Structures are given as C-alpha cells and as structure tokens.
Amino acid sequence: MLNASLRFSSSYPIYLIIVSVIFAAVFSFWTYRRTTPPVKPWLRYCLIFLRWSSLSLALIFIFQLTITRYKTYSKPAKILVLTDKSASMNLAKDNTESFGSVKDLLESDGYKRLSDRYIARLFSFSDSLEHEWTNTSALLDSPNTGIGTDLGGAWMQALEKYGADLPAAILLITDGAHNKGVDPARIARLAHVPIYTVGVGSPEASLDLMISSVSVNPVVYQGSQVPVEIGYRAVGVSGKTLQLTLFDQIGKVIKNQSMRILDDFTEGTLRFEIPVDSAGRHKYSVSIKPFENELTYNNNKRSFYLNVLANKMRVLVMSGPPDQDLGDLIRRLGNDEQVDVIQRTTRGTRFYEGDWPDDELLSNIDVVLLHHFPVGSNKKNALEVFTRQLSDGNIPIGFIDGGNVDINRFKLIEPLLGVKALDGRSRIIRGYVNPIQRHAVIVESDETDINRGWSDLPPVLTTANRYQVKAQASVLAEFQDENSDITYPAIVVSETGGMKSGVILVYDIWRWGLKSPGEDGIPEPLFQRMIRWLAIRKIDKRVKLVFDKELFSIQEQVGFTVTVLDENYNPMEGVDVSADILLDSKQGGRTALLGIGNGRYRGGFRAWSEGEYQVNIKAELNKNVIGQDKGKITVEQFSIELLDVRLNEELLKFISEASKGSYCRISNADSLLESLSFKPVECEDMQVIQTFGKVWLLILIISLLIVEWTIRIRTGML
C-alpha cells in the first residue's frame, strides 16, 4: 500500500502566504478584465494565468516556503541468513549431518518460499563476517576453510552493515563450534533481533585423538631442562593405549610416553623436560599415534619453537621514586626464573641502590627498562652520559610512562625510542587498552585471538597528546578514551639502526592485576614477552623479514612484513621487494610485495602442503640489490577448528532463547522456515523542496514573465 502527502512550512505564517497568493490571483484578474486592444477570451485567461503564476512563485520564493513530500509504503521484512564456512563444517559423524545438509537446506523449496516472502540477505562467516552472496550456488561451491568461528562477531558485523535498518530476524546455520571473539552467550541479548539457530552436525562424540595445547616458554637458556606441558584429548578410545611422542627438529625421538585410556572422553596434560644444549632457534613437534577410523588425523600433531639464549637475562630497571606501579613490576619480573633484576630507584639526585650504572655493569645487561623515568631530580649531564652508553652498546630499551616523567629530560633519551615527546599542553585521561596488531610482545605465537582477556581489564591512565609515534615504529595497542571515540598509542615497538625499543604509554597497570592476576592474566605475560623480545639480539640488516607468527595452519594464509632501510637506517619507499617461496628446499613460486608505507612491504601466500617453508626476500632499487633476508616457518594441518567438532547444541539453544528466537536441528529446519512469520515493514520516504535561493525557481519566474510580455507585445498591448 502506498500513501503520499504534502506538508508546507515557512519562516512566515502560512496564512499570510495563502492570502498573498489569493491577492495575486485577484490582481491578475483585475489587470486583464479589459485589454486594449481587446483580445480573445482564451488569450486573456492565459495572460491572467501567466501573471498569477509568476507573482505566486515570486511570493513563494520571498516567503521561503518549504514543501515536504511524505511517502509511506510497506515492504517485506528482511532476514539475515548467516552460514558457517569454517573448517569444522567439513567434519561430521555421518553424511546426513554434514555441510551437504546445508546445501540441501539452501536449495530446498522451504528456503525458496522464505526468500519469496521476505528479503533474505545471505552471508558466510568463520572467524569474521566474510561475504554477502547474491547467488546461493556460489556460496555452496566455495570451500569451508575458515580457521576459526566467531558466532557473536558474525551477527554483530552483519547488523552493523544495515545500521538502524534492523532485520526482522537472523537465521544462524552453524555447528556452534565457537572458538574466537566475544562469548556469544553473553551478547545474545544485545542483538535486538531474534536469532533462529540451525544446528549442523552431531552432538555425539566421534573417535578422535588430538593435541589440544602446547605450553612452553618460548625463550629459554642453554644447558637447562625446559618443561613442556602437552594437553591432549581422547574421544571414543576407552580401553586403548595412547602413545605420545616428542621429536626434535631433525625428527629424532626425544621422549615417548604411553597411557591407558579408561573413559570414552578423556582430557589431560603430560609433562616433558627437553634438554637444550645449544643456543639458537630450535623446532620441536609432538604427536599422538593415530588409530583407525579417526574422524580426522589433522589434529594429531603440533609443532613449537624454542629460542635458546646462552645466558640468563639481566634486566636493569631504572625508575623514578618508588610507587605502586614499580612494586607491581618488580614483583612480576621476580616471578620469572629466567630474569635477574638489577634496580636503580631514584632518591633525589641519586639512587637508593647506588650511583649511575657504569660501563662494566651495562656491558653485562641484556635489557634496560625505564619505569616512570627520567624525572626532574635526575641530573641532566649524568642522563646524557647514560644515554650515550646505551646508544654505543646498542642495548635494547623498554620505557613505561608515568605521570611524573620529566619531558625535557625524556627528550635526551627520545632518539633511542619509537616515540617522541610533543610540546604543548597535555591531560591525564582514563580508558582501556585494545591490541590492534599481532606481535610477539602482545600474544604468544599459538594464540589465535589477540584481544582475548583485554576487554575485561579495568581502566588505566594515559597522558593524552604527550607523545607522537615515529614513522619507523609500530603501534601494537591503542588506548581508547572512556568518554570519547578518540584513541592514542598505548604499546609501541621499533627496531631501527641496531636499536630495539618497546614503549608502554599507560600507567596504573597494577590495576590489571586485580582482574587478571599471575601468569594467566595480562600484565605479567606482557612484561615477560616484552623483556624476551627486547633481549633477543639480531644482526642489524637493512632488509628484515618478520612473519606474523611462527606456526600457521594450512587453512590460513601465511603473512609476513619486510622492512627496508637506507644507508642511514631511514625507511625506504618505492623499492621492488620480491619473495621466493620454497618447501623442503624446492622452489614453489615467487610473489611481489605491496608497499604499505614507512619502508614496510606486505606479502603472503597460501601454503600448498604442510611442511617447513623458507621465504627468501630480495629488495631492489633500479635493478640494484639493496639487501636480502630469509626466514622459515612451519605450516601444519592443525587448526583450532579441530579442537572440538561436535555440534554444540547447548550454546545454540542458549543464543536462541536469550534473543527470543528458537533452535532446531538442520533435519527439522523446513518446519522452522515455514513457521517464521513477520509483519511487513512500514517505510517512509521524505523529499524536502526548499524554494528560497533556488536558481531554477528564479529562471521559471523570469520565463513566465517573458512569455507574458511577448504575448502583450505581439497583440499590441501597452
């Protein structure tokens, strides 16, 4: 049904406009009641109309009349159909509950009738919302290769695409294997639309063995016994013996362990100790001997790396006066058995622990950590000497900002860091820290979700507009003002000219420990990862290759970044950077990298098989080689999608109930589709016509007057 209406408004009373238009009609009629010479009546009426029209339009122009046209109509309700395309949808206990049943559903008469009654928007998703499909066949023909499942993120992103134009419902077709992003059960009530969940798969456990986790300190020390905790899961193998084997990088067996499985579903952890006799980067792997008729063998093996250092890390903490943040930092560093902490805590112009560090002490230091330092009482000449010592020794530096840092003295250390101080006024604000980039400082290499745990942390403080990130530095996390949408840099790293630095620009971090204490929280692992990243010295190069992580699943793209510097270690733009990809020393292809600014170039490739890949980088300018670099990564079949491939009916039922929808298995989806009933959506279109200042209206008025005057001249009127 279509309804239309007009509404008039003006800065003057409407009745005044009406009276003026009526007066214009009377005046026009009076003007042409008699003409000299007399003309035919129809011509006289035409002249009356022309004059009245031009006068009326002129009055409308002067009185600034606004005409608003309203149109109301009904249209069918909109439904968002979200189909899971993650890797777990390939695995099922039987064919009736596989992705083939999704194909049957989307090609069924029931779905076609639903599309005829309503506006169905079809999306695919895995670890994020992937694509909107206009062709159902194209969706069904695309492979299920998603490396994770984010149920809540998928429907929230779909809703954001339509803004205030909310759909009538969401149809979520999935196995419920949620393993990334925010807990969907927690945000289901915030969807504001009913979610109808359709479960794909079987809730019954199939025979399967898997390595569910590998927990190991990525940086260890030569000559130590490194503890490794291997998490495993065994399903459907009651009464059988499970054999777990640990291998070194050349495939030699390090440890073997067997265990008898007593239940159909068993989870546990095995602990090994690996002897490390040489420094460097070493690869290890752990596997469970497969059984016949397993659901998949791709989750029976996991790899991991160890960075072996020759000595224990010695960290020099230079701090301002004692405060709660300092006590929290020292306590957390003290919990790390591989770290020796040496302190210098400001006491007036000196330190509680003695004098400024000398060359002998600094020569044995792996990392210098500046905590709320320097402050106003630190002597400038001594600080200048200290800065020169750090620069000459290429000693990695960490900096943690605090409200009492003296900016003038900070500028002496500024050349060694990835940020520079800004002149002008600044203010302290509260807010939250959100990671924005995967990096060894932010997250362990095997962690898939870089935001995990951060959103639950209490607010901390930062000094807004106090620092600016240098061009060659990378922002790993941002500070979100709790009272606005403005963001500021929170965690910044840089690695240029032989110097590595890490900067944390928030304070009152001790508050995070109230929510996430110990090694399972956020602050302690964050400090430990930063110390380890800084401590690992690299031979300085003008061309540097950095992978997004060390281990990739075969379902995901291998991503890497290359930094290119000139002779003065400044970022170089316009360089031709290429990468040769090799698998087991056999050439597999070449790819050109795309410049992303600040001397950085981005590349990636899809692995064609599992194994160890080598990437050889070459940077050229005008066909002259600037430099080269190479690196190795491992690609495995394992994916977080394989940790649990059962249909999670409990979660899907909770989502539907919390959002006031309903749940059904895909075998009963036809009846669900037939039962859906939504009222048409009432829509309103509004068109506003402003008359004042419109050139077209002036042209129309002048045209009417010209036509009138032309007729008068042709008929001989005065």
For the chain, helix (H) and strand (E) counts, in that order, are: 16, 38
CA distance linking residue 577 with residue 593, whole number of Å:
6
Task: Please name the residue ranges forming H helices in 335-401.
Answer: 359-363, 380-393
Identify which of 504, 508, 513 has the alpha carbon closest to the alpha carbon of residue 331.
Answer: 513
- Determine contact, residues 347/400, Cβ cutoff 8 Å: no
Distance of CA 69 to the CA centre of its chain: 43
Structure tokens at 132: 């909107």
Query: Which parts of the chain have pLDDT scores under 70?
Result: 1-4, 90-100, 144-147, 163-164, 205, 218-219, 295, 310-311, 403, 445-448, 497-498, 516-520, 537-540, 555, 567-570, 638-645, 718
Handedness of CA 352, 354, 357, 360 (dihedral sign): negative
The pair of structure tokens assigned to 289 is 């001997």
pLDDT digits (tens, 9 = 90+) for 15-37: 888 888 888 888 888 888 888 88
Lookup result for tokens 């905790």: 229
Contact by Cβ (8 Å): 668, 176: no
| Cis upstream peptide for 76 (omega within 30°) | no
CA 701 – CA 669 distance, rounded (Å): 64
Give the DSSP H/E element, type plus range, for residue 515.
Answer: helix 512-515
Note the helical H segments in 358-456.
359-363, 380-393, 407-413
Alpha-carbon distance 23 to 58, whole Å?
13
- pLDDT of 41 reads 85
With 0-12 / 13-18 / 19 or more C-beta atoms within 10 angstroms meaning exposed / middle / buried, residue 487 is middle
User: DSSP 3-state assignment of 578?
Assistant: strand
Cα distances (angstroms) measured from residue 218 to each of 198, 431, 453, 634: 41, 31, 21, 15
Task: Output the CA–CA distances (angstroms, integers) from residue 339 to 270, 314, 315, 348, 502, in the order listed.
Answer: 26, 6, 7, 28, 17
Is-contact 477 436, C-beta < 8 A?
yes
Backbone angles phi, psi at 689, to 5 degrees: -115, 115
pLDDT of residue 437: 86
Burial (Cβ within 10 Å: 0-12, 13-18, ≥19) of residue 450: middle
Cβ atoms of 35 and 44 closer than 8 Å = yes
Residue among 221, 226, 216, 339 nearest 280 (CA)? 221
Residues contacting 363, CB < 8 A, separation 6+: 393
Q: Is residue 519 classed as helix, strand or coil in its secondary structure?
A: helix
Q: Is the dihedral of CA 575, 581, 582, 586 positive or negative?
A: negative
Q: HEC profile for 466-503?
A: CEEECCCCEEEEEEEECCCCCEEEEEEEEEECCEEEEE
622 sits in the region (left: phi over 0; alpha: psi -120 to 50; else beta) called: left
> How far apart (Å, rounded) are the C-alpha atoms in residues 556 and 144?
12
Omega cis (within 30) before 13: no
Asked if 171 and 196 count as a contact pair (C-beta separation under 8 A), the reply is yes
Q: What CA–CA distances, in Å, run from 639 to 297, 320, 442, 610, 697?
A: 12, 46, 21, 12, 67
Where along the chain do its domains lie?
A: 2-67+689-714, 77-203+646-679, 208-309, 313-535, 543-640
- Whether the Cβ atoms of residue 418 and residue 493 lie closer than 8 Å to each other: yes
CB 83 within 8 A of CB 123: yes
510: which DSSP letter? G
Fold of 77-203+646-679: Rossmann fold (3.40.50)
Question: 295-312 burial, b for 16+ CB within 10 Å, e for fewer?
Answer: bbbbbbbbbbbbbbbeee
**C-alpha distance from residue 329 to each of 177, 240, 334, 440 (Å):** 38, 48, 8, 19
Task: Give the tokens for residue 602.
Answer: 């981005």
Same fold, 77-203+646-679 and 313-535: yes
Percent helix, strand, coil in the chain, to 5, is: 30, 40, 35
**Packing angle, helices 99-106 and 109-117, rounded to 10:** 50
Question: CA-CA distance, 625 to 602, in Å (whole number)?
Answer: 19
Q: Name residue 183's amino acid.
A: D
Fold classified for 543-640:
Immunoglobulin-like (2.60.40)
Pick the CATH number of 208-309 from 1.20.1250.20, 3.40.605.10, 2.40.30.10, 2.60.40.10: 2.60.40.10
Q: How far is CA 198 from the centre of its chain?
A: 27
Per DSSP, what are the bridge partners of residue 195?
170
Rg of the chain on CA atoms, in Å: 36
Q: 215, 161, 142, 264: which is closest to 445 by C-alpha?
A: 215
User: Both tokens of residue 370?
Assistant: 């500046």
Q: Count of alpha carbons within 13 Å of 622, Cβ hemisphere only?
A: 0
Element (H, E) at 117: helix 109-117
CA gap 640, 649 in Å, rounded = 19
Task: Report the C-alpha gap between 90 and 99 in whole angstroms.
Answer: 6
CATH of 313-535, one of 3.40.1360.10, 2.40.50.140, 3.60.15.10, 3.40.50.880: 3.40.50.880
